[in-house]
Amino acid sequence: MNTITDIKEVSELRALSLNLFNKHGYPTKRDEDWKQSPLNNFLQDNKQLEIYKTNNDSINEKVFENFKHNKIIIVNGLVQKTDFIGKDKDKLIITTIDEYYKKNNKNLLKLFSNKKNPLVTANNALATSGFYLEIKDNLDLPIIIYHQYNSKVDQKQLHQKNYILINKNSKASVFEKFTNENKKTFISINTNIDVEQNSHIKNYILNSNNTENCVYRFKKVNIAASANYESFIFSNIVKTIRDEVEINLNQSLAECYLYYTQFLKKNENHEIKVKINHLAENTQSYQFSKSIIDGTAKGVYQGKIFVDQIAQKTNGYQLIKSVLLSDQCTFHSKPELEIYADDVKCSHGSSSTSLNKDELFYLMARGIPETQAKRLIVQGFLSEVVEKISDENFKNYFLKKTEDMLS
Amino acid sequence: MSDNLIQEQIKQDYAYGFVTDVESVRAPKGLNKEVIQFISKQKKEPQWLLEWRLKAFERLQSMTEPNWQKPQYPKIDYQALYYYSAPKGFKEGPKSLDEIDPEIKKTYEKLGIPLNEQKRLAGVAVDAVFDSVSVATTFKKKLEDIGIIFCSISEAVQKHPDLVKKYLGSVIPLTDHYFATLNSAVFTDGSFVYIPEGVRCPMELSTYFRINASNTGQFERTLIIADKGSYVSYLEGCTAPMRDENQLHAANVELVALDDAEIKYSTVQNWYPGDKEGKGGIYNFVTKRGICKGKNSKISWTQVETGSAITWKYPSCILQGDNSSGEFYSIAITNNYQKADTGTKMIHLGKNTKSRIISKGISAGHADNTYRGLVSIHSKASNAKNYTQCDSLLVGNLCGAHTVPYIDNKNSTSTTEHEATTSKISEEQLFYCKQRGLNQEEAVSLIVNGFCKEVLQQLPMEFAVEAQKLVSISLEGSVG
C-alpha cells in the first residue's frame, strides 16, 4: 500500500482539504453546480462507504487492444504494469503520485489548490492512490492507460489523484480505457494535466462501466503558449458518471478542443461539466457534444466559457445537441458565457429534439426497415463528432466502436 | 469614433431626473404589522386583503433574500424605507382630471404623458402611478362602455372584489420568493385590467410609473385578466428623479390569459440609472409572470430596459393551455456602472405549446449585462417547441456580457433550440456606413438599431418611437 502520510506538507494539505470538505459535505441539488447532478442521490444514500486502500490487484488482460501501443495498466488506482515499446521508453516517466510528491514538494500547493468543489476537496483529503506521468518528447506510439476497477472495490469508495505533465515541444496521444466490474462503488479520479509550451496532447477516453457504480472524474488542464489539448470522451455503457473538466488557457495561442458522444439507455446517467477560462490573448476553445438518450436515462451538459478582460481576440465555440428517443428520458443543458473582453467571437448553440422524421421517411421509403433506418440516423448523428478527432487511427477506432455499439 | 466624442456622448444626462415638489402623506418608516395595517386602512381595504397581506408578512419573516444573481448590491435596510407615500390630499382620489395637483400634472407633462385627454396621443388610455398611488386614469368612460375595466388596483378591490380575490396571487403565489412576498405584504397601488369575453380592446392601455419621494420603495401590483377570446395590449413606462441613495422598486405583475385570449405587455423602463460613478439609481427587482391558462392563448412580453442601477427581472410565461404560446422580446442596455440580470422563463406544460425568446444585450462603460433564462419542457408537453436567441454586444473592454440559459427537456417529441453570440460592432460595418456619408454617431445608431430591430418592431407604435430614441441615446455615446 502507498501512503502519503510520511510527507509533512502533504498531510497538512490533506487535513486542510478534509476540513473544507467536512464544512460543506456532499453536494446537493441546492448547489448551483450540482443542481441536476445524478451523483447527488448516490452520494446521499451511500455516505458511509469505506475507503479502499489499494493492494497488488490482478490484471484483466482481456480488455487489451490488439494494435501496437505503449501500455500502462492501473488496477484499482495503482500502476501494476507498464510496457513501453522501442525509443518511447526513454521519453516517458511513470511513477506513483507519492514518489512524485517526495521529489517535488514545491509543486504541491498547485495540486491541492481547489477549495470550492466539495468532491475535489474530498479527493485531495482521501486519495490513496494515483500516478505521475511525464512525457518528455514526441512519442512514436500512443499510450493506452487501462484503468481497471475490479470487485475488490465493491461497496467502497476509491479516491485517486493523478498528475500528467507534457513537457515543452512534446506530442502524445493518451487513450484511457475504463473498465469497471464492481457494485455500489464510488470512484473519484482527480487528474491535473499541464501542457507546456508548444506541446500537443490528444486525450481520448472510453467509458464502459457495466455495473451499479458511480464515477466522478475531475480534470484540471493548464495550457501554455501555442500548446494544444484535444479530448474526446466516448460513453457507451455507464451507470452514473460525472465528467468534469476545467481548462485554463493561460498563454496566447493556447487551444483546446473537447468532443463528447454519449449513448444513454435504460437508467443510465451521464453528466458533463466544462469550464473554459480564456486568460490570454488569441486563445481558442471548441466544444462539441452529441447525445442520444433513451429509456429513463438522464443527460446533463453544463458548459461555461469565461473570457477575461485581457483575453482579446478569443474564439469560443460551443455546440450541444441531443436526441431524445423515449418518453421518460430527460436532457438538461446549461451553455453559459461570461465575457469581459469586447473583441471576441463567442457563440453557443444547444438543441434537443426527437429523431428527424423526414430522414426516417426517406430511408424507409427506400426499403430500409425502421429499426435499421433509426440505427443509421443515430450512427450518422454521433459520427459527426467522432469525425472531428484529429488522430486518424483513433478516429477509425471510435467510428468502429460507434457502429458496434449500435448493432 | 474619436475619444472626445465618446466622452461627450457618455456624459448624456438623465433627462427625467427632476424632483416634483409635492407634499406627501407617508406611512411611518419601517416594515412591521402596523405599517401594513396603516396601508390597508388608508386604502379602505376589506378584511380578507388585510389578512392576505399579513400572511405574506408572516411568511416574509422566515425568508431570506435570494443571492444567486450576478449583480451584487449592498444590503437593503428594509426598516429605513417608507412603504407608503401619496401626494397629500389624495385620500379619495380625483374624480376628474381637474382635481389633480397642478404640480403632478406638470411632472407628467415634462415626461410627455398625455394626461390631458385633449392633448393626448391618439388612442392611449393612461393610468398614472405617482410614488405609490394611482393619480389618474384617462378614457375610463369609453372603456367602460364596452365592458373593459381599467382602473387602479385599489379601486378594483372596492368595486370588483370577486375578480381581484379570484386572481390576485394566482400566478405569483404569496410564498414565491422574497421580493414577491414583500410586495404582497406592502403593495400600494398599480393597475387592474379586465377584458371581458370576446372583446378586443380598441386602444393601447398604458401605465406610467414615477418614483418621486426620497427613501421610498415603490411596490405596485398589476393584474391583467383577458377573458375568453379577448385581446389587450398594455404598455408600461417608468421614470424616477435623480437621488444619491438607491431606491427599491419591487413590483409584481400578473397576467392571466384564458381560452383564445391574447395579452401583449410592453415595458419601456427608464428609471434613474445612477450617476457616472454608479452612485444612486433604482434597484428594479420586479416579478412578472403570466399564465396561458386556456387553450390557444398567447402572452407576449416586450421590454426595453435602459434605466435602473440594477435590473433584475424575468418576465415569464406558464404555458398551461394546449396550443398556447409565449413570447419574450428584450433589449437590455447597460452603461456606466449599471447592471442587468434579466431574461425569461418558459414553462411548457400543455401540448403543442410554443415559445420564442429573442434577447439583445448591449453593455458599455463598466456595465454588466446578463441574460438568464429557463426553458422547461415537462413530460406531458408533447410537440412543444422553443426557439431562443440571445445576442450580446460589447462596447469597450471594461464591461461584461454573460449568458446563463437553462434548458430542460423531458419530452421526446419536443424541440428546443438555443443560440447565442457575443461580439462587438464590426469595423467593417462602421466603415461601410461612414463611407456612405453617415457620421460616426449615425452609423453606430443605425447598426445598433439594426441589432435590436427584431425586438423594436414588436413594440406598439406609440412606444416604438420613444424606444428607438432611447436606444440611440443610451448607446451613441459609448461606441468606439
Q: What is the pLDDT of residues A192-227, one digit of tens each?
A: 999 999 999 999 998 876 677 888 999 999 999 999
**Structure ipTM:** 0.84
Is residue A130 a contact partner of residue A161, using CB atoms and an 8 Å limit?
yes
pLDDT of res. A318: 92
Q: Chain A interface, mutation test: which of B422, B425, B427, B479, most A Cβ atoms within 10 Å? A: B422
- Buried b / exposed e across A48-71, counting CB within 10 Å, b at 16+? ebeebebeebebeeeeeeeeebbe
Q: Among residues of chain A, what percentage have pLDDT more than 70?
A: 98
Mean pLDDT of B373-392: 92
Nearest-by-Cβ selection for A342 from B402, B420, B424: B424
B303, part of any domain:
yes
pLDDT category at B9 given cuts 50, 70, 90 is very low
The residue written with cell numbers 400600494 in the block is B188
Alpha helix stretches (DSSP H) within B43-152:
47-61, 102-111, 140-145
Residue B97 lies in a domain: yes
B47 found inside a domain: yes
- For A225, the grid coordinates are 503558449
CA distance A340 to chain B (A): 4
Check A336 against B403: CB less than 8 A apart: yes
Partner-chain contact B407 A326, CB within 8 Å: no
Chain B CB contacts of A322 under 8 Å are 409
Measured CA to CA, the distance from residue B332 to residue B343 in angstroms comes to 10
How many Å apart are CA B136 and CA B117, to the nearest integer?
11
Contact A342 B392 (CB under 8 A): no
Cα–Cα distances in angstroms (integers) from residue B164 to residues A219, B103, B137, in the given order: 55, 32, 18
d(CA A92, CA A307): 34
Which structural domain range is residue B116 located in?
Answer: 3-474
Cα separation, A207 vs A149, whole angstroms: 12
> Which chain A positions have a beta carbon within 8 Å of B400's beta carbon?
338-340
pLDDT reported for residue A272: 93
Which of A353-362, B282-291, B418-427 has the lowest average pLDDT?
B418-427
List, in order, residues 6 or more apart from A407 with CB less than 8 Å away. Answer: A375
pLDDT given at position B3: 45
- Helix, strand, coil shares of chain A as percentages rounded to 5? 25, 45, 35
**Furthest-apart CA pair in chain A: how many Å?**
71
- pLDDT tens digits, residue range A229-256? 999 999 887 788 899 999 999 999 999 9
| Tens digits of residue pLDDT in B233-248 | 888 876 555 556 677 8
Burial of B152 (0-12, 13-18, 19+ CB in 10 A): buried
**Chain B residues near residue A333 by CB distance under 8 angstroms:** 405-407, 418
Cα–Cα distance for residue pair B124/B114, rounded to 1 Å: 8
Report residue B108's pLDDT band, with 50, 70 and 90 as the boundaries.
low
Confidence label for B12 from pLDDT (cuts 50, 70 and 90)? low
Confidence tier at B355 by pLDDT (50, 70, 90): very high
Using the beta-carbon criterion (under 8 Å), do A344 and B418 form an inter-chain contact? no
pLDDT at B324 exceeding the cut of 50: yes
Give contacts of A328 with chain B, Cβ < 8 Å. Answer: 379
> What are the distances in angstroms from CA A16 to CA A12, A120, A237?
6, 12, 36
Nearest CA in chain B to A356: B413
CB nearest to B418's CB, from A312, A349, A354: A349
Label residue B197 exposed, middle or buried (CB < 10 Å: 0-12, 13-18, 19+): middle
Q: With an 8 Å Cβ cutoff, are A331 and B409 in contact?
A: yes
Residues of B in Cβ contact (< 8 Å) with A345: 421-423
β-pairing verdict for B24-26 and B85-87: antiparallel
pLDDT of residue B2: 41
For B399, what's the count of Cα atoms within 13 Å in the CB-facing half-sphere? 31
| Chain A nearest-CA residue for B480 | A342
CB atoms within 10 A of CB B62: 8
- Higher-scoring residue by pLDDT: B475, B68: B68
**Cβ of B407 and A333 within 8 Å?**
yes
Who contacts B252 (Cβ-Cβ below 8 Å, separation ≥6)?
B172, B180, B183, B184, B187, B220, B221, B222, B286, B287, B288
Q: Is the pLDDT of residue B464 over 70?
A: yes
Tell me, what's the pLDDT at A10? Answer: 82
Nearest-Cα distance to chain B for A229, in Å, is 24
CB B249 within 8 A of CB B179: no
Q: For residue B249, which phi and psi values (nearest 5 degrees)?
A: -130, 110
The total of other beta-carbon atoms located within 10 Å of residue B98's CB is 8
Task: Output the pTM of the full model.
Answer: 0.84
What is the predicted pLDDT for the residue at A210? 66
For residues A260-264, average pLDDT: 91
B397–A309 C-beta distance less than 8 A: yes
Helix (H) or strand (E) holding B180, with range, is helix B178-186
Name which of B408, B417, B420 is nearest A330 (Cβ-Cβ).
B408
Amino acid letter for position B157: V
Say what the pLDDT of residue B352 is.
Answer: 94
d(CA B62, CA B81): 20
- B479 lies in a domain? no
**CA pair distance A161, B394, nearest whole angstrom:** 41
Question: B348 falls in which pLDDT band (50, 70, 90)?
Answer: very high
Q: Say how far apart CA B215 and CA B83 lie, in whole Å.
A: 9
Q: For the segment B125-176, what is each residue's pLDDT rounded down to a tens digit?
A: 566 666 555 555 667 777 888 888 888 888 888 889 999 999 998 999 888 8
Note whether B390 contacts A: Cβ–Cβ < 8 A: no
Q: How would you classify the pairing of strands A92-96 and A131-135? A: antiparallel
Closest CA relative to residue B110, chosen from B19, B189, B23, B220: B19
The chain B residue lying nearest A320, using CA atoms, is B418
Element (H, E) at B388: strand B385-395
A-chain residues within 8 Å CB-CB of B408? 36, 330-332
Q: Would you say A193 and A164 are in contact if contact means Cβ atoms under 8 Å apart? A: yes
**Which residue from B250, B254, B262 is spatially nearest to B294, judged by alpha carbons?**
B262
pLDDT band at A303, cuts 50/70/90? Answer: very high
Is B480 part of a structural domain of the chain? no
**What is the pLDDT at residue A253?**
94
Place of cell 501542457: A195
Contact A39, A365 (CB under 8 A): no
Closest CA to B469 of B455, B458, B456: B456
Any domain includes B215? yes
How far is the alpha carbon of B340 from chain A, nearest alpha carbon, in Å? 14
* Facing A335 at nearest CB: one of B405, B412, B422: B405
Cβ within 8 Å of residue B83, ≥6 positions away: B27, B30, B31, B35, B36, B39, B186, B188, B217, B219
Which residue shows C-alpha cell 412578472?
B288
Q: Which helix (H) or strand (E) holds B161?
A: helix B161-167
Taking CB atoms and an 8 Å limit, are B412 and A32 in contact across chains? Answer: no
| Rg for chain B, CA atoms, rounded | 22
Output the DSSP codes for B420-474.
EEEE---HHHHHHHHHTT--HHHHHHHHHHHHHHHHHTTS-HHHHHHHHHHHHHH
pLDDT for res B119: 39
pLDDT tier at A308, thresholds 50, 70, 90: very high
Quick one: pLDDT at residue B116?
A: 46
Q: Which residues pair with B86 in a beta bridge?
A: B25
pLDDT at B92: 46
pLDDT, position B263: 94
Looking up cell 454521433 gives A382
The total of structural domains in chain B comes to 1
SS3 content of chain B, % helix, strand, coil (to 5): 25, 35, 40
Distance set, CA B301 to CA B230, B254, B309, B401 (Å):
17, 12, 22, 22
- A2 phi/psi in degrees, rounded to 5: -110, 115
B419 contact A CB<8A: yes
Residue of B nearest to A307 (CA): B400
- Contact call for A332 and B405, based on CB within 8 A: no
Q: What is the pLDDT of residue B102?
A: 65
Question: How far apart, in whole angstroms, are the C-alpha atoms of residue B36 and residue B50?
Answer: 8
Share of chain B above pLDDT 70, in %: 78
**Backbone angle region of A340, left / alpha / beta, with phi > 0 → left and psi within -120 to 50 → alpha:** alpha
pLDDT at A52 over 70: yes
DSSP state of B245: S
pLDDT at B120 over 50: no
Nearest chain A CA: its distance from B396 CA (Å): 6
Give A-chain residues touching B409 at CB under 8 angstroms.
322, 324, 330-332, 352
Least confident stretch, A32-41, B34-43, B458-467: B458-467
The full 3-state SS of A133-177, as one line of letters, equals: EEECCECCCCEEEEEEECHHHCCEEEEEEEEEEECCCCEEEEEEE
Cβ pair A334:B414 closer than 8 A: no
Grid-cell match 492501473, residue found: A74
Q: Give residue B398's pLDDT.
A: 85
Angle at A321 (CA atoms; ends A318, A324), nearest 5 degrees: 160
Q: Is B177 part of the contact surface with chain A (CB cutoff 8 Å)? A: no
Query: What are A79's three cell numbers?
Result: 500502476
How crowded is residue B97: how many other Cβ atoms within 10 Å of its Cβ?
15
pLDDT at residue number B118: 36
Give me the amino acid identity at B366.
H
